[in-house]
Each structure stands twice: as C-alpha cells, then as structure tokens.
C-alpha cells in the first residue's frame, strides 16, 4: 500500500496577475517545506496551474535543493473539450487532486493548498504506519457534503462515521484512480457526471475530493487497507494539522502570534486562511519562526 510519501500536489491559479498574494503564499509554502523536509532525497512538488500562469510561476517561485518543484499547465491533463473547463475554480482544484495523481501513477502523496505552511519536520515515512497512511479525518456530521455524496454514490449515510478531512491530507493514487473510475462506468466521462451533479446543486456543495475518495473506498471496502482507522489517527503523536494551530480569522492570528510555542506541537502543517487578510510578511515571519 504505502511505502513512502515523497510526492505532493498543489493546484495553483493566480487569480489576478496584478495581485501577488497567491504567488507569495505559494512561495512561502515552498520555503516552509524546504525548512522542514528531513529526507535524503527531495520532496517532489507538482504544481498544476492555468497555462497563463505557468511561465510566471516557473520564473518566480523559489528553488531549493531538497524540494523538486515542477510546474505544469492544466491543459497537460485535461483536453480542450473536457468538462473540466466548465467547472468553477473550486471544483477544478478538487478534481486536480484526484485526476492528476491517478494519471501519473502516484503512490502515496500529499495534497496541498497555497494557504498552508509547514511548521514541523517530516520525511517520506512520517505519515506511514504499518504501510498505511496516518491521514486526517473528520466526523461526517460536520459537513452536509457527506450526506450529498452518500446519495450520489448510493451508500448509506452514517452520521456517526468519519471521512477524510480537508487539505492538507495524504491520499493514494490507486484509490484516486478507483474514485474516478467509478464515475466512468459504462463509458461515461467522470468529469461530466461530477460536473452535472455540481450544476444541479448550485448554492450547496455537491461533493469534495475527500468525500468522493472516502465514499468509493468504503464502497469498494478497501479504504482502511490504505488508511489507518480514524480512532488512532486522532490520538497519534503524528498529525498533519490541528484546528488549534490554524488561523481561521485575524483574532486567531493575533492569539497565536503572541504565543512562543505552537498550541499543538504535533501538527506538521498549519492553515492560514487567505480570507483572514493577514499581511503575507507577518504570516511568513510567524511560520518560518518554527524552523529556527
């Protein structure tokens, strides 16, 4: 199942070339990964971006010996007439995290967003236990999309159960391929099926990449062959991230910045929501302080 995790994927669209916030946040993510990656071989970070952004990203993103950054356009993975291009940016990012690793034959891989920073040391085996991933889980009762995906896939909705949580997380390319394969049965285009569902559910969340991945893994009865059960994951000394350490609004940041230590030292990553509108230099100073 999992032998190592030394690949990561980051969907990245520069929403406004006149604003450099998205680029600055991605640069900070890469710098923080370089500060904490503790392995003899580089971490391979694949950035998938709209074609209009590729040249700028290749020129301006920072480079480090221990982080192998590759920027590829979305058009490398989605043909001209793919339903992918009809999706909103939010759904495109989700599809990229499943489709591209499946196409490229990834094994275990990290999913990342540009509002994430690394604050703890890790290597290719940190998030593996007995050949299964120590992924991040959440109760299905926390979000309405779990019930929606149960209806979509035709599996029972169990509010007391748990599913894989939001980015950052650890997935496996084989299960990602199985997830998309479910929606391509009888020759259907999986993105057409998913895009139609999203269109019908305007005003609500039809699916997320993690809810689809979880539901198909449960349907195929192999999810826990790849991922450690949620109970030990919640209490493990190894955590991808912790709600206590993340910044959801400006008040969170001020509270955390005044502290001399991380609220949860087990957390390897923190999320600093871009809509919290924290100046990027303050975020950089805070996040990179943990590498000193």
Express each pLDDT in 126-175 by its tens digit.
999 999 999 999 999 999 999 999 988 888 899 899 999 999 999 999 99
Helix, strand counts (H, E) of the chain: 11, 12
Give me the torsion for CA of 96, 166, 263, 279, rounded to 10°: 50
pLDDT number for residue 139: 96
Of 18-32, 38-52, 116-130, the range with the lowest mean pLDDT is 18-32
Q: Domain-by-domain residue ranges, the chain?
A: 7-291
Distance CA 271, CA 240 (A): 11
Distance CA 142, CA 37 (A): 32
Residue 105 has pLDDT above 90, yes or no: yes
Q: Which CATH architecture has domain 7-291?
A: Alpha-Beta Complex (3.90)
On the question of a cis peptide bond just before residue 89, with omega within 30 degrees of 0, the verdict is: no
Express each pLDDT in 60-70 by its tens digit.
999 999 999 99
């Amino acid at each position: 199942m999992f032998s190592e995790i030394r690949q990561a994927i980051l969907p990245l669209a520069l929403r406004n070339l006149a604003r450099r916030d998205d680029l600055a946040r991605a640069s900070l993510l890469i710098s923080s990964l370089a500060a904490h990656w503790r392995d003899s071989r580089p971490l391979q970070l694949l950035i998938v971006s709209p074609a209009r952004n590729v040249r700028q990203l290749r020129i301006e993103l920072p480079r480090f010996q221990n982080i192998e950054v590759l920027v590829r356009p979305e058009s490398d993975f989605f043909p001209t007439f793919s339903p992918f291009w009809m999706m909103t940016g939010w759904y495109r990012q989700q599809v990229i995290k499943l489709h591209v690793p499946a196409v490229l034959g990834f094994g275990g891989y990290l999913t990342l967003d540009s509002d994430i920073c690394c604050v703890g040391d890790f290597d290719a085996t940190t998030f593996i236990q007995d050949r299964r991933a120590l992924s991040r889980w959440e109760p299905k009762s926390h979000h309405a999309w779990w019930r929606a995906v149960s209806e979509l896939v035709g599996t029972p909705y169990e509010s007391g159960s748990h599913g894989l949580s939001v980015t950052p997380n650890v997935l496996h390319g084989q299960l990602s391929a199985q997830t998309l394969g479910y929606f391509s049965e009888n020759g259907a285009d999986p993105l057409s099926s998913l895009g139609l569902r999203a269109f019908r559910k305007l005003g609500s969340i039809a699916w997320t990449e993690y809810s689809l991945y979880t539901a198909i893994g449960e349907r195929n009865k192999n999810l826990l062959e790849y991922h450690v059960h949620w109970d030990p994951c919640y209490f493990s000394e190894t955590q991808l991230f912790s709600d206590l350490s993340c910044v959801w609004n400006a008040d969170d940041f001020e509270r955390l910045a005044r502290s001399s230590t991380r609220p949860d030292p087990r957390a390897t990553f923190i999320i600093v929501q871009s809509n919290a509108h924290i100046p990027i230099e303050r975020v950089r100073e805070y996040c990179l302080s943990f590498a000193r």
